[in-house]
Structure 1
Amino acid sequence: VAYLEIDNEKATFKLVSEEVKDQEGKVTLLWTIDGMGDYPFSSSAVDNIARVAGRVYLTKEIAQDVTDFSPYGLDKPTAVLRVVMKDGTQHEIKFGKEIPSGYYDYVTVDQTGRVCTIASSTGDKIRSTLLDLLDKTSVIVLEANKLQKLEFNRAKDQLHLVSDIKLVGEVGSGTEYLDFTITEPVRRSGTSESLSKLVNESVAASVSQFVEIDPKDLALYGLDQPAYLFNLSSADKSVRLMIGSQADGSSYYAMTDQVPAVFTVAASSFTTIDMKVTEMLDRFVALESIWAVEKIEADILGTRFVTEIQMEKSQTADDETVVFTLDGENAKIFSEKDKSLYNQFYQSIIGILIDNLDTEANPENTKDARIVFHIREDKDNNIPAHTKIVEFARRDDYTYYVFIDGIYTGYYIDGEKAFTSTRINSEGVLVSYKMMRYAMDHAVDGVFNTQEGYQLD
């Protein structure tokens, strides 16, 4: 066989072959679509069509010497397979309609006048379109644990997120995870759980159906200005995934730079693309381990305090040599249930959360509130002792811009939640400070009965 020609209602293309040898020297034919070698067609799907030419099994002869082929749908065949031999001769197999009882199609070969039947599955192969032959597994071909960078754009809120990615741990250990360092729109550690799910869903994007090869108008699919855009990079490969408008209630149109075709993906396979940006990043403004901090100086809306800590990494709050002081007084106070009240106070300081981003702002640092962390030397990681200065500038009646070491961070906090909240177990720093002072003043032998409550001004 020199080549095969397929001509059906939706496509016309030619299959050509090349002899290849395997490691054992065995020669096989590799079939490809002529003139479209750069397109990622499924080799198995193309081979299945080629095999039809060599194994046409006519199951039953229906009629001979036929001159009127219309009753069989062969006057206007649904598909034609031409087998061109190397000596120039050719054979033509025409596929008609399905027989009334189903499962078989009418066919005729060359000009024999014979009408036979053939398995409908064989006819379906010859009726394949180029879309049917595209390899559905070729649209991404990336492994999440090999990713080094993520860029994610979302049109509806103009989000542009860029993050470096690093695999921590050994693949297959069960404890490995992806570590994300966000560089845009702010510089923060990323939330591993949320962003891992985002990249896993993107690299696992599965084709439901191919729609159009070499689309001339991407706007028809919302892909001229994608609703979502991923740029995924590993050490040796980058893939661009675009998600456009909804194809129907359960799928989106999509396209990658690996396959020049529009396809659909199930909307249910993308559960994280609409999550809030604050769910993507570490929301703690200054999450410092208690044993790493030597002293904290605070000036919050006119209230000032100083707290000092003497504690090793291996210690707990009730260890004898641990020292907590607040405004120079002993703050190593426990509840009637033997819980460290100082730990709760400390948690209110380091538990201040980012409320949202405002990267377009260029605010003045009015220093309406200020928390200075004095961080101990970390010999294990070769980090010298240093200070971290966290300052808050009023944005409006409810929120405050955040500055760290004099630089605007691009985000703000909710002032009530951070400073003045009276919600139980979610007290703001100022309320927590008053509670700590009250417990210190009313403790007996280092124990304060919280069930008696706090009498705060």
Structure 2
Amino acid sequence: MKRKHLVTISIMLIGLAVSLFFLTDQDEVANGIKQSPQVLITESEKVDRVTIQLDNAVILEKDTEETWTIKDSQEAADQDKIKAALTTLFSLEGEEVAVKKKDVGLDFPQIKIKIGYSDNDTEESWTIGDLNAAGSAYYVENQNEGTIYLVASTLIETLPLQKQGYTDNKIITITSETVNKMTINNGAETIELTNDVPYPEEESRANLTGWYVHAPYSGYYNAAYSKMSDMIYAIDQFEMTELVTSNPTDLNEYGLDEVDFTITLESAEKTEKIVIGDPAAGGNYYAMLEGQSAVFTINNQLLDLYSYQAFDLLDGYVKIIALDVMNQLKIESDDFSIDIRMEHDTVTNEDGEEEVSSAFSVGDQIIEEDIFRDAYKYVAGLKVDKVVEEDVIYQDPEIELTYVIDLKDDQQKEIDVAFVPYDTTHYTVFVDEVVDFLVLKEDVNQMLEEMKKITK
């Protein structure tokens, strides 16, 4: 009885193992896991024609110079884009599966690919159907052979299906690395941004982007990091979404005869100006490059990055000076005066890294570093509130900050920040007697209160 019972259990275990094997195998097929993948296009070196059809056909042809062209295209072919796409196409591999075409979207496929070879006139025809249940692979059919494969979705989805994925769509030649000035005319104001530093390096050390907002203001002010970095990055993304016409007969048709939105980019060698017209279909705008005739479209999401008002592009701080270059900070007001002296040394910490050690004092009184740094946050953190909308004249300030910073070759520079009464709630703020903004009195008064505490 015992032996018969063990045999029965063994048979059950074997049956369970076989069932699990087949279930696992089917699950692997359904999820596109390839145990013995096959390369789909085996003679890629002989391919000289590729047709990719979604809505409209994109026909790529290779000439005798091994250069690829795009048939019936006004735009130039981008060889790097084409070769990258073909590398993806020729690397497709999959596992043959036994499924019905109608069950996997291959009876009426949306995507068709034809491969032509240089040594004969035949073509291989491939179609792409549905994703598998796991979303990890597409069903792909070789129509010449009637075989169906599961091909990893990551490869299929890398392959461009529209002509713009193969054309040279660059609008400008200036890059994020070469640009040193931007001028944006948005119809309401002209904004000038520059990374040509108007200050000594020591004075500009706290500027995270290295860029400044100048016009429409008189002075130069740190640009906001988040917005400025997006604008710089976007320079390399300036591409047309479509070439509308190479020789327009009427610019008025595209809103390009009289425009109120332009983006001018400058480098040391050249200037390029993008002119923006009316809205076009698909979230685009008509545009052209000044001095050229072609009309194209640009995606509105790209243009949005250049559509801020000047005030929105500021980091908003009155004046930030890095502490490690400052040797003196003086604050003067009617009821409070303080002169903070600073000394800085470079030391090696316990991890073997160099860092700056600072000492702060007021007269003979040593101020603890943490106490001073906490108070200084209210000085450095003073933010502008509004733009001065009228001419104001420099007068004796009610409150005045003087920064003294160390420059190269044992030189020093004084930077004066003066707060002159404007109305009941605001001061006008003059930085070295240049004025553009108003500051809330309550913020300045809070700064004074925090600085008063450090000597108590």
> How do residues 255-266 of structure 1 correspond to structure 2 at under 5 angstroms?
255-257=288-290, 259-266=292-299
Deviation readout 1:208-267 (Å, 9 max, x if unpaired): 223344444444433344343111122333211122332247222222136523222222
**1:366 matches 2:395:** yes
> Match of 1:229?
262
Contact 1:165–1:178 (CA under 8 A) maintained in structure 2: no
Q: Sequence identity of aligned pairs in percent?
A: 17
* Equivalent AA in structure 2 for residue 295 of structure 1: Q
Give 1:391 deviation, angstroms: 0.8
Aligned to 1:152: 184
Partners of 1:152 and 1:161 within 8 A in 2:
yes
Work out which of the residue numbers 244, 258, 268 in structure 2 matches 1:211.
244
1:323 to 350, 360, 378: 360
From 385, 391, 399, the counterpart of 1:355: 385
Distance 2:78 2:412 in 1: 63
- Which has the higher mean CA deviation after the structures are superposed, 195-204 or 341-350? 195-204
Is this contact kept in 2: 1:153–1:160, CA < 8 A? yes
Counterpart CA distance in 2 for 1:274 and 1:165 is: 22
> Where do 1:157-306 residues align within 5 Å?
157-164=188-195, 179-185=210-216, 186-191=219-224, 193-248=226-281, 250-257=283-290, 259-300=292-333, 302-306=334-338
CA 1:321–1:241 in structure 2 vs 1: closer, same or farther (change >3 Å)?
A: closer
Q: Residues 294-342 of structure 1, C-alpha deviation per residue, up to 9 Å, x if partnerless?
A: 3333234x332213223215379xx9982322xx4736248xxxxx222
Where do 1:42-57 residues align within 5 Å?
A: 42=76
- Does structure 2 conserve the Cα–Cα contact (< 8 Å) formed by 1:140 and 1:258? no
Contact residue 140 and residue 239 of structure 1 kept, 8 A: yes
Please give the per-residue CA displacement for 1:114-147, whole angstroms capped at 9, x wherever unaligned.
xxxxxxxxxxxxxxxxx99x96524223321122
Query: Which of 349, 353, 375 is the matching residue for 2:404?
Result: 375
Aligned CA distance change for structure 1 residues 432 and 321 (closer, same or farther; 3 Å): closer
- Letter matched to residue 241 of structure 1: I
Unmatched segments (≥5 aa) in structure 1:
1-19, 34-38, 46-101, 104-130, 167-176, 335-339, 421-427, 441-457
Mapped partners of 2:394, 2:316: distance in 1: 21
CA distance 1:241–1:200, change in 2 (3 Å): farther
Aligned amino acid, residue 345 of structure 1: A
Question: What is the distance in 1 between the residues matched to 2:416 and 2:196?
Answer: 28
Per the alignment, residue 413 of structure 2 pairs with 386
For residue 371 of structure 2, the aligned residue among 341, 356, 374 is 341
Q: 1:224 to 1:136 in 2, by over 3 A?
A: farther
Question: Separation in 2 of the partners of 1:315 and 1:44?
Answer: 53
Paired residue secondary structure (1:344): helix
Aligned to 2:92: none
Instruction: Give the TM-score normalised by structure 2.
Output: 0.54
Change in Cα spacing, 1:138 to 1:267, as seen in structure 2 (3 Å) is: closer
Please state which structure has a larger fraction of its residues in helix.
2
How many residues of Structure 1 are paired with residues of Structure 2 in the alignment? 299
Q: How does 1:405-420 map to 2 (within 5 A)?
A: 405=432, 407-417=433-443, 419-420=444-445
Question: Which of 340, 343, 359 pairs up with 1:308?
Answer: 340
Contact 1:374 1:385 in 2 (8 A): no
Alignment partners' CA distance in 1, 2:401 and 2:303: 42
Deviation, 1:201, is: 1.8
Which of 389, 397, 404 aligns to 2:431? It is 404
Are the equivalent residues in 2 in contact too, given 1:40–1:138 (CA < 8 A)? no
Query: 1:243–1:291: structure 2 CA closer, same or farther, 3 Å change rule?
Result: same
Relative to 1, partners in 2 of residues 1:145 and 1:363: Cα closer, same or farther, differing over 3 Å? same
Counterpart-to-counterpart distance in 2, 1:201 and 1:320: 39
What is residue 448 of structure 2 aligned with on the other side?
A: 430
Structure 1: which amino acid aligns with 2:393? E
Task: Say if 1:164 and 1:183, in contact at 8 Å, map to a contact too.
Answer: no
Residue identity matched to 1:273: Y
Which whole-Å CA distance do the structure 2 matches of 1:184 and 1:227 have between them?
17
1:48-67, aligned counterparts within 5 Å? none
Report the Cα distance in structure 1 between the residues aligned to 2:75 and 2:434, rounded to whole angstroms.
Answer: 51
Contact kept in structure 2, 1:40 and 1:259, CA below 8 Å:
no
Aligned AA (1:398): T
Counterpart residue number, 1:172: none
State the superposition RMSD in angstroms: 4.5
State whether residues 295 and 307 of structure 1, in contact with CA within 8 Å, keep that contact through their aligned partners in structure 2. yes
Q: Which amino acid is 1:206 matched to?
A: E
- Looking at structure 2, the residues matched to 196 and 254 of structure 1 have their Cα atoms a distance apart, in angstroms, of 23
1: CA distance, partners of 2:78 / 2:323: 60
Q: CA deviation at 1:343?
A: 1.3
Amino acid at match of 1:222: G
Structure 1 residues 208, 386: CA separation in 2 closer, same or farther (over 3 Å shift)? Answer: closer
Is 1:395 equivalent to 2:422 in the alignment?
yes
Cα distance, 1:303–1:40 mapped onto 2, change above 3 Å: farther
